Chain A
Amino acid sequence: MSVGYRAIQWNRDKLVYDGVLITGIVLFIGIFMAAWSWINPPASLAEWSILRVRAFGICAFTMLTLVLMIGPLARLDRRFLPVLYNRRHFGVATFVVASVHAILVVLHYRAQDLLDFMASQLVNFSAYTSIATFPFHALGIASLAVLFLMASTSHDYWLNFLTPRTWKSLHMALYAAYGLLVLHVALGIMQEYRSPIIPLLLGAAFLSVTTLHVVAGWRERPADHGVAPQNDGWIAVGPPRSIPDKRARIVAVPGGERIAVFRDGDRIGALTNLCAHQNGPLGEGRIIDGCITCPWHGYQYKLDDGCAPAPFTERLVTYRVRLRGGVIEVDPRPLAPGTPAAISLPPGTT
């Protein structure tokens, strides 16, 4: 954990992030409603109510699309890392906007005296067999339920309680929520309006998100094949100069996890590439203020032993390193978390 990080409390970066987020939501909904009502002025209270429903629905869909783009974009291009920093607030805000959309739908149907009809459609199982009658609200409700689960377990309390590995796996359900949402729109408003704009925008959004995830995942596949160890089991990393100062080179054990080999001047240390917080890619971080700093949310660890600086208590697995024949080598057998293992290079090596 970073020295300056205070759990639970707010910091300036989070406030700025949230300020931009809230402003963006208000502007999106405001501009959408103003533009739509200007092009197509609502003639009744019911039409205003429908416009409100749509504004929040489209905003929630856009937000979820953006939330899902942040991860792969940050993996493909480091310039997106600042957006990743507080992505959880973006996700929770998406749930809030989607909930308002759902509440407005219920209020609209109640005002139209159609609430019972809507409920009966949800349990009319024969309606599910046809595209024309498919109760698309069911897909929206299922998607909202997943968003609720994600938002309610987004806090670090749940992250610690469930462990980063389980928490990460659980939060992959967000992808399913997105798929449900795309179908909610495809079987809902897309059936009503023949304009090609809806399928075009919907298809483009889903295709963009999918492409980004698949490309980012595919690009990392070769790195997972790993480097074959030498006879004594050690893995060659490269000459000390091949590791940029205050940065790392990442090596993978065949069939195993990645190891981040950092250089800080003439000090070399190897740690697991998995940050203790959310399994972020530590080896893509930098050494700041003498500590290895995770690129995702800034947790920090000492190069020498993988321990977070006091008063924090996170400890990472470390690995033995050595310099042999001008090449840095790492022993892929992990040491106990927090074991000092960094070495100093002889003068003139770097």
Chain B
Amino acid sequence: MTRSHRTIHLTLWLALALAVAIGFAAALYFRPPVQAAAPHATVVAQT
């Protein structure tokens, strides 16, 4: 790998880790209680 490629690679992973961690934490925190889940969301989430 070239030097610039290594730098971009590391920066990209750090940024991706942060973005996905935020999304993942939000998805976990805001999980609707099973009985309160919107009916369409339940159907769509079947797959």
The reply to whether A192 and B42 contact each other, CB–CB distance below 8 Å, is yes
- Complex contact A169–B5 (CB within 8 A): yes
Q: Are B27 and A131 in contact (CB under 8 A)?
A: yes
Q: Which one of B5, B27, B46 contacts A186 once the chains associate, using CB atoms below 8 Å?
A: B27
Cβ of A13 within 8 Å of any chain B Cβ, yes or no, is no
Report the tally of A-B residue pairs with Cβ distances under 8 A. Answer: 118
Chain B residues in 8 Å Cβ range of A190: 27-28, 31
CB proximity to B under 8 Å, residues A276-297? 279, 281
Interface residues of B: mostly helix, strand, loop or mixed? helix
Q: Is the CB of B44 within 8 A of A179?
A: no
A190 to B23, CA, bound (A): 13
Give A131 to B28 CA distance when docked, in angstroms. Answer: 9
Are B23 and A199 in contact, CB atoms less than 8 angstroms apart? no
The answer to whether A179 touches B19, judged by C-beta atoms less than 8 angstroms apart, is: yes
Which of B6, B8, B24 is the one whose CB lies under 8 Å from A183?
B24
Contact B9 A132 (CB under 8 A): no
Alpha-carbon separation in the docked complex, A252 to B2 (Å): 11
B43 touches A114 (CB 8 A): yes
CB atoms of B24 and A132 under 8 A apart = no
A50 at the binding interface (Cβ < 8 Å):
yes
CB A174 to nearest CB in B, in angstroms, measures 11
On whether A191 and B31 interact (CB within 8 A), knowing A172-B8, A183-B23, the answer reads yes
Contact with A along B6-21 (1 / 0, CB 8 A): 1111101110110110
Shortest distance from the beta carbon of A195 to any chain B beta carbon, whole Å: 11
Interface size on B, residues (CB 8 A): 35
Q: Which residues of A contact B28 (CB under 8 A)?
A: 186, 190, 199
| Cβ–Cβ contact B20 & A214, under 8 A | no
B38 with A133: CB separation less than 8 A: yes
Give Cα A199 to B27, complex, Å. Answer: 10
How far does the Cβ of B41 sit from chain A's closest Cβ, in whole Å?
5
Nearest neighbor of A202 in chain B, beta-carbon distance:
B24
Contact B27 A175 (CB under 8 A): no
B34 and A131 contacting across the interface, CB-CB below 8 Å:
no
Pair A133/B40 contact, Cβ less than 8 Å: yes
Q: Smallest CB–CB gap between B18 and chain A, Å? A: 10
CB neighbours of A258 from chain B (8 A): 3
Given A194-B31, A274-B2, A279-B2, verify A131-B24 contact (CB < 8 Å). no
The answer for the CA separation of A169 and B27 in the assembled complex, in Å, is: 30
Residue from B2, B10, B19, B44 with most neighbouring chain A CB atoms (10 Å): B44
In the complex, residue of chain A having the shortest beta-carbon distance to the beta carbon of B45: A192
Cross-chain pairs A/B with CB under 8 angstroms, 30 sampled: A50-B47, A54-B47, A109-B47, A114-B43, A117-B40, A117-B43, A131-B26, A133-B40, A168-B1, A172-B9, A175-B12, A183-B20, A187-B27, A188-B47, A189-B45, A190-B31, A191-B41, A191-B45, A199-B24, A203-B24, A210-B13, A213-B10, A214-B10, A218-B10, A220-B6, A224-B6, A256-B3, A274-B1, A279-B2, A279-B5
Chain A residues proximal to chain B, CB less than 8 Å: 50, 53-54, 57, 105, 108-109, 114, 117-118, 121, 131-133, 135-137, 165, 168-169, 172, 175-176, 178-179, 182-183, 186-192, 194, 199, 202-203, 206, 210, 213-214, 217-218, 220-221, 224, 252, 256-258, 274, 279, 281
Task: Known pairs A178-B16, A186-B27, A221-B10; list 18 more (Cβ under 8 Å).
Answer: A53-B47, A131-B26, A133-B41, A137-B44, A169-B8, A175-B13, A175-B16, A179-B19, A183-B20, A186-B23, A189-B45, A191-B27, A199-B24, A213-B13, A214-B10, A217-B6, A274-B2, A279-B2
Which 9 interchain pairs have the tightest Cβ spacing? Answer: A217-B10, A186-B27, A192-B45, A131-B30, A213-B13, A210-B17, A179-B20, A132-B32, A183-B23
